[in-house]
Chain A
Amino acid sequence: MRIFRSLVLLAGITALWTPVSAHNAHASFSIVITTDNPVIKAGSDVVIKIRMTNNSNHDVDCTMAPANGLDRKYQYDVRDAQGNPAAKIVRSHPELESGSILPCTLKPGQSTPPVDNSISWIYDLTHPGKYVVQVSRDDPKEGKAKSNTITLTVKP
């Protein structure tokens, strides 16, 4: 935890919303997240951009499953300045969430365009403070990749 916190702090100081690193130890693809708005007013939608790149020499699936402005194919990790997971928004009937399934394949070396994803759909980011965001994708064949982290500031 201490190491993680140090990494988070380092990311916050040195890069803010610019990519720092991607954790692709065993994945054939990488993920980079960015944001156009690192400082957000509390209550506003919080949007990050996700860009996936095929680092392998074969096709990699990049299927999207957007719903409510968020691609459900990614896992989102949002923590506060202390490293604690941000509160998730509890919705009724999550099992009935619908969306679209948009097949996607990345050729070797290709990247998806940066796609907006509204993480405030799942996380309660209405409380002022700094939040560290990281995105991951777990493909049974290609491995799991974690994105860089970005720090967002929610202001009153």
Chain B
Amino acid sequence: MKTLYLTVGITALLLLGSRPAASQSSYVEGVSAIINAGTNSTQIETFSETFETADIAYYYEAYVEGYLYQNGSLIADGAALGSPYTNDAYGYMTQPLHVPDTYEIQSDHYLVAYYTSYDPNTGAYEYDNPDYFTNDGGYGGSNDFLPGSSGCGCYYETVAYIFLGTTAVQMSSAPPTISSISPTGVSLGDSGTLTINGSNLVDVFTQTATVSLSNSGITWSIGSQSATQVTINYSVSTSATTGSGTLTVSDRFGSSSATLNVGDGTPKVTSITPSTWNAGVTTSVTFGGNNFGTAPTLSFSSSQVTATIASASNTQIVANVTVATCAPAQTVTVMVQSHGYNGSGFIATSSGQSPDGTDSATIKAIAALAPTISFGGKVVSGTTTSVVVGQQIALTGNVPSQSCGVASHEWSTPTGTAVGGATASTLSGFSLTSLPSNTGSAYTFYWVYPGSSLPMTYKYTLTNGEVSPVATATFTVTGAGSMSNTSETSGKLTVDNLTGCTAQPGGPYLVYGNVTGPVPECSGTTSGSAGIVFTPSGAPSAGSYSYVQLLSTDTRVYRTATTTLTCTTTAGIDSSYPYAGIRPGTSPPKATDAPEIPLPGTYTTASHTFNATMYLLWKSNTSNSITVPLGYQAWQFSGSTTQSGGRWGTPTGGGGPVGGFVSSSGSQANKGYPTWSNKATQNPCQ
């Protein structure tokens, strides 16, 4: 019921059915009201009243008019006048009610004014009860007035309605409407606040919401309530009826419902103790949380983790968790899956609700043990090993026996100049092999040049991803020395008469050196001195020297009195690889050369210009070694001779080394190895 109060003259408030004590003794009040007890979904009862205190009632009579509107249209009215000496004029109206129309009761309040009369009998004016005058007789006051006539019994009466004002109250009969509830589901064993949104959610008279739930096992109370929002504090027992239920808000005009699902709550894992698990170990782990249900299960994001549940409750699981031996270090997601409370499986409270609660734990992997490096059948990691240039460095990474296998290996790249191999042929020169892949359990390479404290490191990675400590082996690589050169003819050229044979006649040759014996095409013992002799030295250990001679210039010029014939040679390797001109019986082997040109009698002069570079190579006797370059020596000669009277004269010119011995180095082309792509061959003379 809604009321609107009007006070006149003297203030007063009144609640329908229980008037408050007036703060002052005299007042008039107006009331418009809709009666709680008489209003429901089929009828409306209104009340209109003008009330005055008794003292005022001696002079004024209360009067009220009531107007009832439905959606703005007048559907009923009425009026009431207080009886004489009665200070209260009121009336009720009852009309059918149509939900959800809006109703308004308006009340106009009046006081009926004094009656003023002249009593001819007394010759005085009297103030009497207006009602008395109206009825002209009866009781109270003077009642002996005679009907008015000229000269006697005349009286005057005045009736005035004094309008005090209008009171009104409006009421909507719209029933409650739920627009949404949140959450739409509640979980067994859970408690919280549910919010109902909508309109007309509370009774217009009591301002309280009437809420009901169809599901058993839920206790609740209203937290707050207004026409547009009602909150409910609920608690769901673990034995509550699950499934789709109905939440209803109702009042006298109707009701509205929403579906409220009651099901199992999503498990929540709040603690894992311990939260770090060692690979290869079974650990007793306590998983704390809620909404686990009565028979939860455990699972993990890694297949390398398994668990056996020892005990389980709605809030705790104790399980023996086993981590596979070779599980990598990782963060594992732990999933607790609820299967409900009632043995009927997990019942979701909302669509898409997960029955899983997750948290994470850490797996500590098995560490990789320290490896060692073997070389030549011995462990050399942590030591310094002496080797020689070109020696095969075949290293093996030794992995200690352990639970997990090896996934990969890694060797460091050798410092200094190193190759994966080196081969050579007469026709194509040296071919160097790149360093091998460094991801095998073994690593083989060759240092070409000396070096000290050259580290090689090895480490491996287990299948669990753990990287081992690094093993380091240190090497000192010793070089193989150098070479010197001499000339057995003091750098002079000679004209040597060589003997012939059946196939080839003998004759004179211009030789850088001095030899005796047959011409080149004839067999037989040759002896004498070489124009240049190379002598190596400094080999650190058993091994063999060899040579490569690269010819850059070999020009012969023959002249007669009228013609000149020039013969050149294409640069390339001289003779073969390795250089064949090793002096017999020398150790270390000496390389010699005694270039010659024939001196046919048809020419009068002959000259020979020769430039070459002799490379010194060495190969250790240790198995599988490769040949390495040690250095080179450029050398040359140039000389000529003239024929006179059938005899060739003493040659002019000479030769010897050009510069000194140059040690090979990795910064040189082809890492210091001699390079050639063809053998030196003589071009047609012209």
A69 lies within 8 A of chain B by Cβ: yes
Closest B residue, CB atoms, query A112: B580
Q: Which of A41-71 contact B (CB under 8 A)?
A: 44-45, 47, 61-69, 71
Chain B contacts for A100, CB-based, 8 A: 574-575, 581, 593-596
Chain A contacts for B131, CB-based, 8 A: none
Chain B contacts for A104, CB-based, 8 A: 526, 582, 584
* Min CB–CB distance A43 → chain B (angstroms): 13
Q: Among the listed B523, B567, B592, B678, which residue makes an inter-chain contact with A140, where contact means beta carbons less than 8 Å apart? A: B523
Chain B contacts for A138, CB-based, 8 A: 501, 523
Q: Among the listed B520, B583, B679, which residue makes an inter-chain contact with A69, where contact means beta carbons less than 8 Å apart? A: B679
Chain A contacts for B513, CB-based, 8 A: 101
A72 and B521 within 8 A (CB): yes
B585 lies within 8 A of chain A by Cβ: yes
B594 and A102 within 8 A (CB): yes
B558 and A99 within 8 A (CB): no
B681 and A68 within 8 A (CB): yes
Bound complex: CA A98 to CA B607 (Å): 12
Q: Given A68-B681, A92-B684, A140-B524, A63 and B517 touching (CB < 8 A)?
A: yes
B524 and A102 within 8 A (CB): no
A116 lies within 8 A of chain B by Cβ: yes
Bound complex: CA A140 to CA B518 (Å): 11
A61 and B567 within 8 A (CB): no
Cβ proximity bits B658-686 to A, threshold 8 Å, 1 near / 0 not: 00000000000000000000111110110
B685 and A92 within 8 A (CB): yes
B584 and A62 within 8 A (CB): yes
Q: Given A73-B520, A116-B577, A45 and B427 touching (CB < 8 A)?
A: yes
* Min CB–CB distance A132 → chain B (angstroms): 22
Bound complex: CA A71 to CA B523 (Å): 11
* Min CB–CB distance B644 → chain A (angstroms): 20
A115 and B580 within 8 A (CB): yes
B40 lies within 8 A of chain A by Cβ: no
B525 lies within 8 A of chain A by Cβ: yes
B351 lies within 8 A of chain A by Cβ: no
* Min CB–CB distance B539 → chain A (angstroms): 18
Q: Given A98-B682, A104-B584, A140-B523, A69 and B426 touching (CB < 8 A)?
A: yes
Q: Among the listed B426, B503, B565, B584, which residue makes an inter-chain contact with A118, where contact means beta carbons less than 8 Å apart? A: B426
A98 and B426 within 8 A (CB): no
Bound complex: CA A64 to CA B513 (Å): 15
Closest B residue, CB atoms, query A118: B679
Q: Given A62-B584, A97-B598, A98-B598, A103 and B526 touching (CB < 8 A)?
A: yes
B684 and A93 within 8 A (CB): yes
Chain A contacts for B520, CB-based, 8 A: 65, 67, 72-73, 99, 101
* Min CB–CB distance A73 → chain B (angstroms): 6
Residue total for B at the interface (Cβ-Cβ under 8 A): 53
* Min CB–CB distance B152 → chain A (angstroms): 169
Cβ proximity bits B580-609 to A, threshold 8 Å, 1 near / 0 not: 111111000000111111101000000010
Q: Given A98-B556, A100-B595, A101-B596, A73 and B684 touching (CB < 8 A)?
A: no
Cβ proximity bits B91-104 to A, threshold 8 Å, 1 near / 0 not: 00000000000000
* Min CB–CB distance A63 → chain B (angstroms): 4
* Min CB–CB distance A92 → chain B (angstroms): 5
Chain A contacts for B558, CB-based, 8 A: 96
Bound complex: CA A62 to CA B523 (Å): 8
A116 and B426 within 8 A (CB): yes
Q: Given A91-B684, A105-B584, A113 and B578 touching (CB < 8 A)?
A: yes
Q: Given A63-B525, A67-B682, A141-B524, A93 and B565 touching (CB < 8 A)?
A: yes
Bound complex: CA A72 to CA B522 (Å): 8
Q: Given A73-B520, A116-B576, A103 and B527 touching (CB < 8 A)?
A: yes
B528 lies within 8 A of chain A by Cβ: yes
Bound complex: CA A101 to CA B558 (Å): 20
Bound complex: CA A138 to CA B522 (Å): 8
Q: Given A68-B680, A92-B684, A121-B681, A98 and B584 touching (CB < 8 A)?
A: no
Chain A contacts for B426, CB-based, 8 A: 47, 69, 116, 118
B169 lies within 8 A of chain A by Cβ: no
* Min CB–CB distance A139 → chain B (angstroms): 4
With A63-B517, A63-B523, A93-B565 known, 20 other A-B pairs at CB within 8 A are A61-B525, A63-B524, A65-B520, A67-B520, A67-B682, A68-B682, A75-B503, A95-B600, A97-B598, A101-B513, A101-B517, A101-B526, A101-B594, A103-B517, A106-B584, A107-B584, A115-B575, A116-B576, A121-B681, A141-B525
Q: Which residues of A approach B to under 8 Å, CB–CB?
A: 36, 44-45, 47, 61-69, 71-73, 75, 91-93, 95-107, 112-113, 115-118, 121, 137-141
Q: Which residues of B approach A to under 8 Å, CB–CB?
A: 425-427, 501, 503, 509, 511, 513, 515, 517, 520-528, 530, 554, 556, 558, 565, 567, 573-578, 580-585, 592-598, 600, 608, 678-682, 684-685
Q: Can you list 16 A-B contacts (CB < 8 A)? A: A63-B525, A63-B526, A64-B580, A67-B520, A69-B679, A69-B680, A73-B523, A96-B567, A97-B682, A98-B554, A103-B526, A103-B583, A103-B592, A107-B584, A116-B426, A121-B681
